[in-house]
Amino acid sequence: MKNEDRCRKISNLVEANKSLLPELLHDIQFRRNKVRIGSVLIGLSRRAHAQAIYEYFVENDIALLKQNMYLAARLNLASIGESGGASFDTGEPILVALLSDNEEVIQKVARAETADLIKYRNDPLSNFSHVYMLQLAIRGDDDQISRMIEKIARNGKKPLRTECAEGRDFYSLLLKSDKTGLESLIQLKHAPLNSTDPIDEDFFSYLGVLEAKLCWRRGIPVEIDHPLIPMELMPVKPLDHYDDVYDFLKPGWMPPPQGLIGRVSRWFKT
């Protein structure tokens, strides 16, 4: 896709999101008993994710990308345990946290747990094991990563099973700090794979960006020459300040009265 076409596409998505924002914010504050709170929070997170892509690829503002990725990560974390909230069945919550360069949300995402993640993370045939290994890599739990590699080598899906058995998979190379091997794997195999997320499918290689960012975080400055891996985002450079934006994400926030009592209270205030 041409750059002007992909920029127009994300711009249209961001514009459409603006019309949905007031309703989502109203639901999260005043209709908490009527909606699936987790779904609303995920909707707000997805909006922030799209805004981040727009700010960087259209407006060329890396600081606003990091701020919006931070906001998306905060909303994902807030949704855990709520109806319709993040399940961590994909690494998208980890991707947005990593690209924020905010260590607090990165560490929280690396330790996040959901019922399904706990249940399936040790199953080498499950996508939850992929998410779990991303978490382990952030946490620096190399011993558990090694055990997971062994599980996949025995019972995983091909061709990853063979790669793990032969030490050619991403995590084996990461544990060995094999910069040349990592660059070759990401450049030739993973960078060309577009994200399947409609928000960033025209801008990112999901797997390539995740892997390259993890390498940089672990002190392995891989260099990848591919349009789907923006190398400017790989160095870890946190902002001086991050804004929670929404009051309901700030410490001590209490939801206003709900239902009829809340409506009457707001009527008198106006």
CA angle 106, 109, 111 (to 5 degrees): 115
* pLDDT reported for residue 181: 98
Confidence of residue 253 (pLDDT cuts 50, 70, 90): confident
Whether residue 79 is predicted with pLDDT greater than 60 in this model: the reply is yes
Whether residue 174 is predicted with pLDDT greater than 60 in this model: the reply is yes
* pLDDT reported for residue 269: 55
> Which residues, including other chains, have CB under 8 Å from residue 26's CB and lie 6 or more apart?
none
Tell which phi-psi region holds residue 85, choosing left (phi > 0), alpha (psi between -120 and 50) or beta.
Answer: beta
For the range 132-136, what are the long-range contacts, defined as Cβ-Cβ under 8 Å and sequence gap of 24 or more? Answer: 133/171, 134/91, 134/94, 134/110, 134/210, 134/214, 135/94, 135/109, 135/110, 135/111
Percent of the chain with pLDDT over 70: 96
Whether residue 270 is predicted with pLDDT greater than 60 in this model: the reply is no
Alpha-carbon distance of 25 to 83, in angstroms, equals 17
**Whether 76 contacts 86, CB under 8 Å:** yes
- Average pLDDT over the chain reads 94
| Cα within 13 Å of Cα(121), Cβ side | 21
User: Buried b / exposed e across 101-137, counting CB within 10 Å, b at 16+?
Assistant: bbeebbebbbebebeebeebbeebebebbbbbbbbbb
Whether residue 237 is predicted with pLDDT greater than 80 in this model: the reply is yes
Question: What's the pTM?
Answer: 0.92
Specify burial of residue 15 (Cβ count, 10 A radius: 0-12, 13-18, 19+).
exposed
Percent of the chain with pLDDT over 90: 85
**Which residue in the block uniquely carries the two structure tokens 């701020």?**
67
Enter the tokens of residue 125: 């045939």
Residue that wins the pLDDT comparison between 22 and 147: 147
Whether residue 23 is predicted with pLDDT greater than 70 in this model: the reply is yes
Average pLDDT for residues 186-191, to the nearest whole number? 96
* pLDDT reported for residue 74: 98
* pLDDT reported for residue 257: 81
Whether residue 267 is predicted with pLDDT greater than 80 in this model: the reply is no
* pLDDT reported for residue 262: 55
Average pLDDT for residues 16-32, to the nearest whole number? 89
**Whether 45 contacts 28, CB under 8 Å:** no
Average pLDDT for residues 29-46, to the nearest whole number? 92
Digit-coded pLDDT (tens) for 114-133: 999 999 999 999 999 999 99
